[in-house]
Structure 1
Amino acid sequence: MDISLIVVTYERPAEIERLLESLTRQHVPPDQLIVVDDSDSDETATIVSEVQTESTLSIEYYRPSSGSMSAARNYGLRYADHEVVAFLDDDVECPPEYVSNLKDAWETHTSAAAIGGPALWVDDAGVRVADINETVLNQNWLTEYGEQRSSEGDWRPPRAVQTDQLAGANMSIKRSVLEELEGFNTVYGGSEVYEDTDVMARIRECGGKIVYDPALEVKHYETPKTGASKSRDQFYWRGFNGIVFRYVCFPQTFWVSIARLMTVNPGWLDPVWLCVGIAIARDTDQLWILKGYVFGLKYVLRNRHSLR
């Protein structure tokens, strides 16, 4: 089965160079490789040109200034020619058998709508930073209230298993499914974007099968933060987009999910009471996620008709 591979990148020339070099070492090269560069600088363009010159890797390079991860993914999707569209983050590194194993996975799981695998967190030296969880029990869960947890950074089951969601760092989806869903939802802003969780929720709603295969493991390098403002931005958008995601994908249970967010620990998002307590103790990250909750809820109420 032929596969189009899309990489979206933003101001990470060193990281995209490492990824592209790993793709030059594939036992089976990607049938189509698309790089969508949202960077302001020209460094990534230079890296892509150098890799093309020094290897046999064929790269379709686009620079659309799309402004968001969702829009950039959709831009790349326009140029995808093949039946399966795979997405990798720019800060991962693939083993030489990755593309071959991905093709094998789609040949094996022909009824799947989406297939992905571990994106194990590693440090700058490529050494794992978390213990591996090898359970066959689903660790990438998504509830009817929009509560979710994604454990691709440390979960490597002994065999392929069905799961609720995949992370955008390492996922592939049938192009026909993405076309039916009209691509990725561009309603999510800033960093900590929920575009991958959103598309997985919509695939599940349509009855699509999602497979998590340990043979598709990649290394996911920890990208260093660039100061306190970057950290606050990430926490704010995590809270904001988490609220919007619940309304967009789980409108029937939205207010119950908000009530649960006030009282329990619903997976990825911290409960409000915990954020308040930590914020009082002068933890600015938790204060910013609280602000994200508040402004996310205001955004939903103001735009509730257009979001549906």
Structure 2
Amino acid sequence: MLFSIIIPLYNRPQEIKELLETLVLQTYKQFEVLVIEDGSVKDAAAIVDSFTDKLNVRYFVKPNEGQGFARNFGFERAEGDYFIIFDSDCLIPPDYLETVNNSLQSNWLDAYGGPDDAHPSFTPIQKAISYSMTSPFTTGGIRGNKKGIGQFHPRSFNMGISRQVWEKAGGFIITRLGEDIEYSIRIHSMGFKIGLIPDAKVYHKRRTSFYQFYKQLHFFGRARINIYKFFPGSLKLVHFFPAGFTLLLAFTLVSNMLMWPVAILCNFLLAVLILLIFFHAWSKNKSVKVAFLSIIAAFIQLTAYGLGFIQDFWKRVIFKQS
């Protein structure tokens, strides 16, 4: 089976260099790479060209339209039997393609997703963010988990679809704001078999600062409402958890300032959550520093997602604004 690896790229030349270096080391060699430069100011032409003697790689430049439509551009030009999507800030383990190929041979999936993890080379903040996005104490616990609530929806940082899916379902119809979840639900609705390949993990750098992480998660919260507008039945109780946490946090601050008795209970609940995150993150990363940073990352994740969710729920669901 020939895999076509499709990577949208926007102003991140150093990231694509590191990603391509990991693809050179793949134990399974039947693959091509398509790098789609999506209207970048800082292009990676020279960097990609330096890999042409090591990889079957093609480089394309197009006007900026966002990652969803950049992936469609790659789908249209891919020659493989199976298309794999990576974000440019991922590092790929050497046995990734071999793992996927073996899994598809034994248990065919029309589309799949894989989990992500922190690489040892990541900074403490990156490790804390990675922990938060995969922790059972935040909404990240439902990502890359067979036991997640409802249908499994592959995420586009580590996702694969067969050529048959592309030919029948087409590509992404929105380019941002939850485009991968919309695509997954649409593939499900057409009767294709979708699942998780647990061992097909990537190392996902995500964001390098808490400020960038906040902006990303605020966007994710808004994206959940965007998906709701396409598929109202996709909104589950778990998606309201960050908004509930954000409101609880605000109520706790007010009750402490006004010295309401209920503040004692609120403080206790938050203290329990902080301790759970700290010791769980410590056990996972074997670092006290990362454990402390994980508390910050978790609170940023929940409040940023919650605020984005509340913002667009209020505007688009309550007031029916476009």
1:236 counterpart = 2:221: no
Matched, 1:118 2:115: yes
Query: 1:83, 1:174 within 8 Å by CA — same for their partners in 2?
Result: yes
User: What percentage of residue pairs aligned between the two structures are identical?
Assistant: 23
Aligned partners of 2:240 and 2:78: how far apart in 1?
32
What does residue 86 of structure 2 align with?
A: 88
Match of 1:105 in 2: 103
- For 2:241 and 2:18, the matched residues in 1 are separated by 31
The 3 A distance-change label for structure 1 pair 124 and 117 is same
Q: Using the alignment, how far apart are the partners of 1:166 and 1:97 within structure 2?
A: 20
> Which among 166, 179, 189 is matched to residue 205 of structure 1?
189
Q: Which residue of 2 aligns with 1:4?
A: 4
Q: Alpha-carbon deviation of 1:120?
A: 1.3
The 8 Å contact of residues 32 and 55 in structure 2, kept in 1 or not, is answered as: no
CA distance in 2, matches of 1:268, 1:175: 35
> Deviation digits for residues 147-200 of structure 1, max 9, x if unmatched?
996433xx699xxxx971222121111122133222113164xxxx41222222
Paired amino acid for 2:78: A
How many residue pairs were aligned? 265
CA distance in structure 2 between the aligned counterparts of 1:244 and 1:58, rounded to whole angstroms: 37
Correspondence 1:276-295 to 2 at 5 A? 276-279=247-250, 281=253, 286=303, 289-290=306-307, 292-295=309-312
Aligned twin of 1:49: 49
1:169 is aligned to 157
Q: How does 1:244-259 map to 2 (within 5 A)?
A: 244-249=226-231, 251-252=232-233
Q: Which runs of 5+ in 2 are unaligned?
A: 255-298
For 1:156 and 1:253, locate their aligned partners in 2 and report how far apart those are by CA, in whole Å: 17
- d(CA) in 2 for partners of 1:163, 1:288: 21
After superposition, give the CA deviation of every residue in 1:245-279 in whole Å (9 maximum; x if it has no partner): 12212x3576xx5xx5xxxxx148513x4323435
Output the CA distance in 1 between the equivalents of 2:86 and 2:308: 30
- Check if 1:270 corresponds to 2:242: yes
In structure 1, the gaps of 5 or more residues are 134-138, 141-146, 261-265, 304-308
SS of 1:42's equivalent in the other structure is coil
User: Aligned partners of 2:300, 2:200: CA distance in 1, in Å?
Assistant: 37
Q: Tell me the CA shift for residue 299 of structure 1.
A: 4.2
Which residue does 2:200 correspond to in 1?
216
Give the equivalent residue in structure 2 for 1:72.
Answer: 70
Task: Give distance in 2, aligned partners of 1:212 and 1:237.
Answer: 25
Compute the displacement of 1:85 (Å): 0.8
Of stretches 232-241 and 193-202 in structure 1, the one that deviates more from structure 2 is: 232-241
Q: Counterparts of 2:304 and 2:25 in 1: how far apart (Å)?
A: 45
SS of the residue 2:27 aligns to: coil
In 2, are the aligned partners of 1:3 and 1:84 still within 8 Å (CA)?
Answer: yes
- What is the CA-CA distance between 1:288 and the residue it aligns to? 7.7
Say which is worse superposed, 16-25 or 96-105, in terms of deviation. Answer: 96-105
Distance across 1 between alignment mates of 2:250 and 2:63: 36
Q: Cα offset for 1:21?
A: 0.7
**Following superposition of structure 1 onto structure 2, how do residues 191-202 of structure 1 map, counting pairs within 5 Å?**
193-202=177-186
1:215 partner SS = coil
Once superposed, what is the RMSD of the aligned Cα atoms? 3.7
Largest Rg, 1 or 2: 2
Shift of 1:51: 2.2
Question: CA offsets per residue over residues 207-238 of structure 1, 9 Å max, x none?
Answer: 3222222332222224303x74x455324322
